[in-house]
C-alpha cells in the first residue's frame, strides 16, 4: 500500500470535513436559516385564519398548533409558479373584501361560523380562480396537517422504521 497516497487522501478528507460547515453557510444551506415569506403580514394572518377555519383546534390539536400556516406560506412560495402565487394573493385580498362587505369585519376578525360561511361561498363559486384557490388551500391544509410530525406520531401511530426488533426475548421452548 502506498503510504504517501493514503496520508494525502486522509488529509484532504479531514480538510473537507473541517470546512464543510463553512461551505454550507456560504451556500445558504443551514438548518437555522429562516424562510422569508413573500406574503405580507396581513396575508399571513389570513392564511392562518383560513387554516384555522378548515381544521380548528377543538378538543385536540388544530392546524395552527402544528404550523400549517407556515407550511402553506413556504409551499406556495417555493413550490408553485408565479401565476398560482399571484392568484392566491389576489384571492386572499378578495376574501377580505367579501368579509368586509358581508360582516363589516376583516376575515381574521370574523367568528368561526362567519369564516366557514365565507369559505363555503368561495368553494361554491363559479369563478375558476376562486374555486382553484379554495381547492388548493383546502387540500394543502389537510395534507400539511396530516403529515405534520405531531399528528403522524401521536395520532396516526407512525413509526420511522416499521416493526421493532426485540433482541432478547424469552422463547417458550
pLDDT in tens, 94-140: 999 999 999 999 999 999 999 999 999 999 999 999 999 999 999 99
Higher pLDDT, 151 or 165: 151
Domain-wise residue ranges, the chain: 1-33, 41-155
The 3-class secondary structure across the chain, one letter per residue, is CCHHHHHHHHHHHHHHHHHHHHHHHHHCCCCCCCCCCCCCHHHHHHHHHHHHHHCCCCCCCCCHHHCHHHHHHHHHHHHCCHHHHHHHHHHHHHHHHHHHHHHCCCHHHCCHHHHHHHHHHHHCCCCHHHHHHHHHHHHHHHHHHHCCHHHHHHHCCCCCCCCCCCCCCCCCC
Query: Would you say residue 31 has pLDDT above 60?
Result: no
pLDDT score at 32: 47
At 6 the pLDDT is 85
Provide the pLDDT for residue 167: 78
Per-residue pLDDT at 23 exceeds 60: yes
- At 5, the pLDDT band (50, 70, 90 cuts) reads confident
Amino acid at each position: 500500500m502506498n503510504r504517501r497516497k493514503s496520508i494525502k487522501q486522509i488529509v484532504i478528507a479531514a480538510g473537507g470535513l473541517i470546512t464543510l460547515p463553512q461551505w454550507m453557510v456560504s451556500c445558504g444551506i443551514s438548518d437555522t436559516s429562516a424562510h422569508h415569506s413573500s406574503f405580507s403580514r396581513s396575508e399571513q394572518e389570513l392564511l392562518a385564519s383560513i387554516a384555522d377555519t378548515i381544521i380548528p383546534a377543538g378538543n385536540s390539536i388544530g392546524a395552527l398548533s402544528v404550523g400549517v400556516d407556515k407550511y402553506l406560506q413556504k409551499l406556495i412560495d417555493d413550490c408553485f409558479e408565479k401565476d398560482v402565487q399571484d392568484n392566491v394573493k389576489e384571492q386572499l385580498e378578495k376574501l377580505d373584501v367579501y368579509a368586509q362587505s358581508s360582516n363589516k369585519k376583516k376575515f381574521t376578525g370574523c367568528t368561526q361560523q362567519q369564516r366557514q360561511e365565507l369559505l363555503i361561498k368561495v368553494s361554491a363559486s363559479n369563478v375558476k380562480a376562486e374555486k382553484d384557490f379554495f381547492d388548493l388551500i383546502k387540500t394543502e391544509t389537510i395534507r400539511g396537517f396530516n403529515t405534520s410530525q405531531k399528528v403522524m406520531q401521536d395520532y396516526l401511530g407512525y413509526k420511522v422504521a416499521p416493526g421493532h426488533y426485540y433482541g432478547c426475548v424469552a422463547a417458550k421452548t
